[in-house]
Structure 1
Amino acid sequence: MLKKFFIAGAFFLTLGVAASAQEVSSDIKPAAGDLTAEVQLSLTGTNNSTINLGLNQLRGRYFLSPTTAVRASFTLQTENEDLNDDFNRTSTFISLAPGIEKHFAGTDRLSPYVGGEISISKLFANEENPYGEVEGAWSSGGNSNSISNRNYFALGLRAVAGADFYFAKHVYLGVEFGLGFQYEKEGDVKIKPNSGPNTTIDGERGTFRFGPNVNSGLRLGFVF
């Protein structure tokens, strides 16, 4: 996976070098008042051999000046599983992360930056099976209290660093990584059997996590 990530990065940087030979402009990077919108390029497909345009995360930025931008990222991931037409499982992950960036001079086409963001996330899960319904998780055995993919709420704070490469005027590719804290709290789970009383598994006490976060995809963005 990492090897293919670098191959893809080298491919797009090669395009950038080719574009650089044809176009050099002092206003190739954003100015005050400009907006950017971007999506992710992720390495997915058969045997991870193809490059697909991932739309699970969208990000917008507004440049207060050529070196300062406010940003907001939105992530939406959904999953639906049908196991032998008996188990129907759904889950939805939503995340919103506002933040700010400080850009440095870099080069005519390269714009390195540092920044910070706050993230608010929520995972929803539900299952219908021959024994009843599970709200807030997936079951591991249908009528048992053993569960997985449990719903949770998370609040994070992290520092980020990255770079944007403008391989054409107002069109760029970017990479980013971060380091920070996240507070995560599991929610209640309700098990509703077709016969018998309902059972509630109370949410556990919240936990704190600290560590790095690497975006494994390339970001493709446009300036407006």
Structure 2
Amino acid sequence: MKKILFAAAAAALVLTSVQAQEKFKPDAMTVSTELSYSPGGATDGGFSLPEYGAKVRLHLNEKMAVRLKLGLNTSSSKTTDFTPNGTNDDTETYHRSTQTKFSIMPGFEYHFTKYERISPYVGGEIGLLTSMTKDTDSSSGSDIKTVTKRPGVGFGINAFTGVDVYLCKGLYLGFELGLGYESMNSKRTLTTHTTGDGTTEDKGNQATLQTDFGFHATPSLRVGWCF
């Protein structure tokens, strides 16, 4: 009985020692990928769809990493107007509006290695932003349609801080916030009119430049893994 207890104690000691020496953070020249999800919310009486993103990092060593972050956000709305036309069926007129934004942001991170499972970091990124706004007007029982498109292109600069919490070796959750600047140049619109006689195109006579600066802290779930 004593031999069995001694063997069990020795096994537990070895297992505890191995777990204590296990390294949770990525090794040098390790690649990690992650996905992020930010729930949508009410904005000005409307509703925004969730924002999705992905990030790839190359950990140069325990303290430094280079990263490439991709972002995608899409919102859509549709309005239907019912107009009496003297029959039992109303004439339905549709207006659909969609907006899609895409970003690609390379950056750099500096990690603090004081903690074993937690990796706080600071860094910066700069990258390209694109957007596309599309408005479509049509009606039931008619081949007349009007589509207006407005492309946009810009750039963004962010300084950020965040933290990775390693659940086990190679798997972590995280959160990030920062201070950012964005500039978006929306080009002239292009309107396409389609009727039974054919299609015509008209260009708008106005372009806009919008800039935003401030702190950003989007509640999001970041799940990543190393390989």
User: In the TM superposition, what whole-angstrom CA distance separates every residue of 1:162-208 from its partner, at most 9, and x where no partner exists?
Assistant: 1101011111111111113222212211334457983513212x344
Q: Structure 2 matches for 1:62-73, cutoff 5 A?
A: 62-73=58-69
Indicate whether 1:220 and 2:223 are aligned. Answer: yes
Q: Which runs of 5+ in 2 are unaligned?
A: 1-17, 42-49, 81-92, 139-143
- The one of 54, 59, 71 equivalent to 1:58 is 54
Distance 1:72-1:179 versus aligned 2 partners, 3 A rule: same
Structure-1 residue corresponding to 2:130 = 122
Q: 2:191·2:203 contact (CA, 8 Å) conserved in 1?
A: yes
Q: Structure 2 matches for 1:127-146, cutoff 5 A?
A: 127-130=135-138, 132-137=145-150
| TM-score for the superposition, normalised by structure 1 | 0.70
Q: Structure 2 matches for 1:144-223, cutoff 5 A?
A: 151-193=151-193, 198-204=202-208, 206-223=209-226
| TM-score for the superposition, normalised by structure 2 | 0.69
Give, in angstroms, the shift of residue 55 of structure 1. 7.5
Aligned CA RMSD, in angstroms, stands at 2.7
Distance 1:70-1:165 versus aligned 2 partners, 3 A rule: same
Give, in angstroms, the shift of residue 82 of structure 1. 4.1
Q: 1:92·1:124 contact (CA, 8 Å) conserved in 2?
A: yes
Identity of aligned residues (%): 28
Structure-2 residue corresponding to 1:86 = 94
Work out which of the two has the higher radius of gyration on C-alpha atoms and give 1 or 2.
2
Q: Structure 2 matches for 1:29-48, cutoff 5 A?
A: 29-43=25-39
Equivalent residue pairs, number: 181
Q: 2:129·2:184 contact (CA, 8 Å) conserved in 1?
A: no
- Greater CA deviation, 128-137 or 115-124? 128-137
Q: Which runs of 5+ in 1 are unaligned?
A: 1-21, 46-53, 138-150
Give, in angstroms, the shift of residue 220 of structure 1. 0.9
Indicate whether 1:28 and 2:24 are aligned. Answer: yes
Q: 2:38·2:51 contact (CA, 8 Å) conserved in 1?
A: no
| Aligned equivalents of 1:24, 1:163: Cα separation in 2 | 22
| Aligned equivalents of 1:90, 1:208: Cα separation in 2 | 21
| Aligned equivalents of 1:215, 1:25: Cα separation in 2 | 35
Distance 1:68-1:155 versus aligned 2 partners, 3 A rule: same
Distance 1:152-1:199 versus aligned 2 partners, 3 A rule: closer
- Look up the SS of the partner of 1:61 in the other structure: strand
Distance 1:188-1:24 versus aligned 2 partners, 3 A rule: farther
